[in-house]
Structures are given as structure tokens and as C-alpha cells.
Amino acid sequence: MNPAPGFKKRPDWRIVTKPAARRVQVTLNGAVVADSKNAIRLEEGPYPAVYYFPRSDVKMDLLERSQHKTHCPFKGDASYFSFRNGARDAIWSYETPYDEMQSIAGLVAFYPDKVEIKEL
């Protein structure tokens, strides 16, 4: 078991994950880099919703793993990816998240200021 320490300190903190209501597409400079009918929508506190994509729906060959890492007390350790020909650290993934966030394990999310994300 690997429970999130954040929820112990902040039991009122709310994170909800659910399947996206529609197909979600990500583009970079007009080129489609992700397209999924299986994205997960994560809603956390006051923050904007984030879509997490199965890697099979992302053009992972356009990405390279970055050395950048961050930690969230609710989700766990995040690893990052950059586009080979562009945006640095534009994608992150909780590859082994805390128990409460297993619904996003191994999925990838995109920073909306580095790509365009839209529901279709």
C-alpha cells in the first residue's frame, strides 16, 4: 500500500477522475499529437481540469524523456517529456502514483500553455 500523504494532512482536498465526456485532441503547431476517446478528466480543487491520455493515443515517438521531475503530495512523483523539436517539459506522467490516484497511472497529460487541447 502506498497512500497519499496529502490526503492525511488535507482530508477535505478533493480530486475527482472520470472518463472524458467526448473525444479529446491535442495539437502542437497545428499537428495532432494526441487523439483519444479514452482520456480521463481530472478535476482538483480550484484548478482547471486536466485530461490524461493513454500512451497508445499519443504520438510518443515525438517525445523524449526529460530530466525534470516534480512531486505532488496527492498524486506522487511526476516524470516529464519534451517534444523532440519543440516545447520542453510539455507533458507529464504519474507512472506510479499514490493508491488514491491509480486511475491516472502511466497516463500522460499536457500543459495547455504549450499545446492546444480541445474536446471534439
Buried b (16+ CB within 10 A) or exposed e, 16-43: ebeebeeebbbebeeeebbbbeebbbbe
Q: Report whether CATH 2.170.150.40 matches the domain 5-118.
A: yes
* pLDDT value for 86: 84
pTM of the model: 0.95
* pLDDT value for 18: 98
* pLDDT value for 85: 85
Q: What are the sequence ranges of the domains in the chain?
A: 5-118
Kindly give the confidence (pLDDT) of every residue in the chain, 120 residues in length, as a single tens digit, with 9 standing for 90 and above: 899 999 999 999 999 999 999 999 999 999 999 999 999 999 999 999 999 999 999 999 999 999 999 999 999 999 999 999 889 999 999 999 999 999 999 999 999 999 999 999
Q: Is 15 helix (H, G, I), strand (E, B) or coil?
A: strand
